[in-house]
């Protein structure tokens, strides 16, 4: 049962249009910001406004159908879904529907959780850890810690299934298809807004994760958070 008319039930086009306008500004700002964070990030697609798609030879169009109707660029992103790790979490004494912030978990439980992180993202331990010093903070370890505290703890699946790292990652560390911001915004609305809710039952929308004003690349902030 949904509470009556939540804010985000406005026609999605209104919101998406607003966000796209913000994105165009943010993309321009990001280009000048000289971000020197860890590892190369693919550059933001220049045609965020979608006004001139002509010059962007997206791989999707190369393999596009003969009918000229290109498949949605978000078709390959796995939809958000119930976690397969519910039983593993219960075996560690955790309730997958009521996970506590990472700082409240005993160290031995945190260590035993680690294989679920690796499997959810399809990565090795070194993706997040300095192999000579597991206690050291790295950008990926900071993001992982925020993903636990901000997403897994504070959000829930509308359908009642357990929400965990694999619900969104499906075995991949990176999985968003970013070159078509409009398509991705629609995908975000259909998955991260419509299929999720806040555990505290407050209104949920783009701003739950992106903030207000809309910050498209908030993970860059999370990478430096601790
Ligand atoms: C996706 C990122 C990620 C992956 C992959 C990962 N870890 Fe962690 N690891 C963390 C985070 C976050 C913490 C908790 C840090 C905290 O809050 O103290 C942690 C904690 C630990 C700790 C306790 C010491 C510490 O850092 O606080 C050990 C030991 C550890 N991990 C080992 C492993 C091993 C072994 C693997 C591979 C099986 C692994 N980790 C995979 C992110 C990761
Ligand atoms: C609500 C969906 C959602 C949940 C739940 C979630 N993540 Fe993420 N995570 C994302 C998205 C989206 C990205 C950005 C992926 C991209 O760039 O393609 C991301 C990125 C990351 C990254 C950075 C990857 C990189 O290459 O920079 C790490 C590390 C990460 N998540 C760890 C975790 C861990 C650990 C958990 C569980 C504690 C988790 N995530 C739960 C959605 C989620
Ligand atoms: C559950 C959290 C969550 C919600 C809710 C959410 N997003 Fe996202 N979104 C993410 C994450 C995580 C990323 C990756 C951010 C990064 O790379 O810093 C992302 C990235 C994006 C990007 C790509 C930004 C870029 O520059 O590459 C767009 C566009 C976007 N979201 C639009 C939306 C819109 C529009 C909504 C509301 C309809 C929305 N998102 C709701 C988590 C969310």
Question: Tens place of pLDDT for every residue, the chain, 226 residues?
Answer: 444 444 444 444 445 566 666 666 555 444 444 333 444 444 433 333 433 334 333 444 334 344 556 677 899 999 999 999 999 999 999 999 999 999 999 999 999 999 999 999 999 999 999 999 999 999 999 999 999 999 999 999 999 999 999 999 999 999 999 999 999 999 999 999 999 999 999 999 999 999 999 999 999 999 998 6
Question: How far does residue 172's CA lie from ligand 2's centre (Å)?
Answer: 9
How far, in Å, CA of 139 to CA of 224, rounded? 6
With contact defined as beta carbons under 8 Å apart, do 125 and 114 qualify? yes
**Does the beta carbon of 109 lie inside 6 Å of ligand 1?**
no
HSE toward the beta carbon, residue 100, CA cutoff 13 A: 9
Copy the structure tokens of residue 94.
Answer: 């955790």
List ligand 3's pocket residues with C-beta within 6 A. 15-16, 19, 23, 44, 151, 155, 178, 181, 184-185, 188-189, 192-193, 196, 206, 208-210, 216-220
**Other C-beta atoms within 10 Å of 62: how many?**
8
Question: How far does residue 107's CA lie from ligand 3's centre (Å)?
Answer: 31
With contact defined as beta carbons under 8 Å apart, do 139 and 130 qualify? no
How far, in Å, CA of 79 to CA of 155, rounded? 16
């Amino acid at each position: 049962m949904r509470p009556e008319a939540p804010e985000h039930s406005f026609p999605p086009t209104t919101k998406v249009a607003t966000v796209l306008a913000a994105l165009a500004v943010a993309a321009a700002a990001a280009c000048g910001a000289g971000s020197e964070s860890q590892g190369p990030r693919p550059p933001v697609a220049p045609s965020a406004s979608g006004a001139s798609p002509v010059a962007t030879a997206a791989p999707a169009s190369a393999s596009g159908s003969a009918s000229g109707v290109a498949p949605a660029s978000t078709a390959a992103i796995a939809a958000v879904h119930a976690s397969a790790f519910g039983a593993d979490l219960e075996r560690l004494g955790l309730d997958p529907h009521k996970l506590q912030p990472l700082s409240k978990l005993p160290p031995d439980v945190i260590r035993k959780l680690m294989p679920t992180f690796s499997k959810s993202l399809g990565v090795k331990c070194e993706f997040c850890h300095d192999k000579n010093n597991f206690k050291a903070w790295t950008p990926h370890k900071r993001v992982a810690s925020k993903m636990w505290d901000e997403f897994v703890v504070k959000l829930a699946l509308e359908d009642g299934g357990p929400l965990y790292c694999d619900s969104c990652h499906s075995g991949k560390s990176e999985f968003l298809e970013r070159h078509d911001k409009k398509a991705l915004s629609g995908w975000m609305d259909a998955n991260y807004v419509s299929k999720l809710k806040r555990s505290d039952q407050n209104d949920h929308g783009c701003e739950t994760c992106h903030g207000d004003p809309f910050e498209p690349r908030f993970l860059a902030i999370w990478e430096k958070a601790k």
